[in-house]
Structure 1
Amino acid sequence: VAYAGALYGHPGVVKRRRPPAGEYAWTAEGLHALADYAAARGVKIVLEPMSHFRTHLANTPAQIMRLLDLADHANLYALLDTYHFIAEVRDYAAAVRTMAPKLWCVHTCENDRGVPGGGIVPWDNLFDALHAVGFDGPLTMEAYNSSIDGGDFAFARGMFHNVCPDGAEFVRAGLEFLRPHVARRWGD
């Protein structure tokens, strides 16, 4: 799995005007061509709806699914990020159901981008819904360690406080929280 950033918009650039009427169609056309290119090389294209604080094009599950439907390619998938959903959805279970046909991966982090657990993400709601739709893809933890490269990577992504000063501890604590949720629904 490689991180390429947002493929359908420019994170951090939020337009203060309504997007052009044809923007979804143009974007879908480009994504279809990209998916063809990637498929020929054995690479999946997985799109993540991001909060309206990061981009304007695809913020909600319905918007990302609309974009994927317009692009109409078997090599395009969706990623659910628990952090971005805090700002965009009220019902995580409904979000999971909306994205289920194309859901490939889930980023698990807390509402502050920190270690999963202890914040306001509705974890039981999320995991119950993932299990109900038969999700069997990767669960990943996305963290920004501000001590790497002087903090430039994290700072460029809007992380101005270090929620991950110790990557190993982040992973240990995150797995300690996530494993029981997975075991309770899918078994060991």
Structure 2
Amino acid sequence: MIIGAHGLVFTGTFDEAGLRRAIEGTKQAGFDLIEIPLMDAEGFDSALAGRMLRDNDLGVTASLGLTPATDLTSEDPAVVAAGVAMLERCLHHVATMGGDVLCGVIYSAMGKYPAPATSRGIDNSRQAISGLAAKAAERGIRLSLEVVNRYESNVFNTGRGALRFLEGVTGDVSVHLDTYHMNIEESDFFQPVHDVAAAGRLGYVHIGDSHRGYLGTGTVDFATFFRALGDVGYDGPVVFESFSSAVVSAELSNTLGIWRNLWQDSDDLAAHANRYIRDAVHAVQTIDLH
């Protein structure tokens, strides 16, 4: 497995100073990879980020959540086109940085919808993702669709829902599981991993506890989850994700629903998460000795 950290663990801005803080902090904490959120795809300097990543010998992926103005499930062709254009820019950034994954809520807007997704909206998203997958493949990049809870998308909220969505998608597109969202929507932490892996679609993993604080202090059943990853032989990215308004801006805190802070020290949190994940993976590996 490739153990990583989300850039928002360290900073809420990704200008030169923010990139340096996030990249160097991720490396110092002992991670292999950083996931950079492309919140400002227009202004992001991916060439600079690429140089910093190479200087720190750190792998990279990128993520984002679409907005109502770029929602691929919109019934307005102009909005869908804007979403496709945004994601094409993001593919350029991923390629320039030397990454090979673009993930997140890239199939709909990220936010609470007032009604279920329409059939036409689902079709629009499937067609757009299929086209983007082909363009991504030309750059050696694959897309991974994050399964989020009902308050962040109305398209799908479980691993099986993601698989049903992908039945109408062509290209190399995988499913991105997140333990924080699984804790809300799934029946357990074992079966979804097996379902998605059996379909050949498990491509990306986020690790976050139920309250987005220190790992192991919430209600997520990490022992079962890591056992499932071991069972299916998953060897892709496993990325720690946690948010605090001590680090990110007030505007982003509101978007992410950070109404209370469970940590203040990014470096301590990240070092703890790196140890926790690696210890959990090692513990599963020792089962072969039983």
Q: By how many angstroms is 1:149 displaced?
A: 4.8
Describe the shift of the 1:164–1:43 C-alpha distance in structure 2 as closer, same or farther (beyond 3 A). farther
Mapped contact 1:146–1:155 kept (Cα < 8 A): no
The answer to whether the aligner puts 1:40 opposite 2:100 as a matched pair is no
Instruction: Report what 1:65 is aligned to.
Output: 163
Bigger Cα displacement from structure 2, 58-67 vs 141-150:
141-150
**Partners in 2 of 1:52 and 1:81 — Cα distance?**
13
Q: Deviations over 1:44-82 (max 9, x none)?
A: 2111011001111111111111122210212x1111100
Q: Deviations over 1:15-72 (max 9, x none)?
A: 2x33323333221111001111122122221110110011111111111111222102
Structure 2 unpaired stretches of 5+: 1-60, 66-104
TM-score by length of 1: 0.90
Secondary structure of 1:70 counterpart: coil
Secondary structure of 2:204 counterpart: strand
What amino acid sits opposite 2:145 in the alignment?
L
TM-score by length of 2: 0.60
**Partners in 2 of 1:149 and 1:129 — Cα distance?**
32
Describe the shift of the 1:61–1:184 C-alpha distance in structure 2 as closer, same or farther (beyond 3 A). same
Instruction: Report what 1:27 is aligned to.
Output: 125
Q: RMSD over aligned Cα, in angstroms?
A: 1.6
Q: By how many angstroms is 1:120 displaced?
A: 0.8
Alignment: residue pair count: 185
Q: How does 1:114-133 map to 2 (within 5 A)?
A: 114-133=213-232
Describe the shift of the 1:79–1:18 C-alpha distance in structure 2 as closer, same or farther (beyond 3 A). closer
**Partners in 2 of 1:181 and 1:115 — Cα distance?**
14
What amino acid sits opposite 2:121 in the alignment?
E
Mapped contact 1:146–1:164 kept (Cα < 8 A): no
Instruction: Report what 1:143 is aligned to.
Output: 242
Structure 1 unpaired stretches of 5+: none
Identical pairs, percent? 26
**Partners in 1 of 2:118 and 2:136 — Cα distance?**
27
Describe the shift of the 1:132–1:156 C-alpha distance in structure 2 as closer, same or farther (beyond 3 A). same
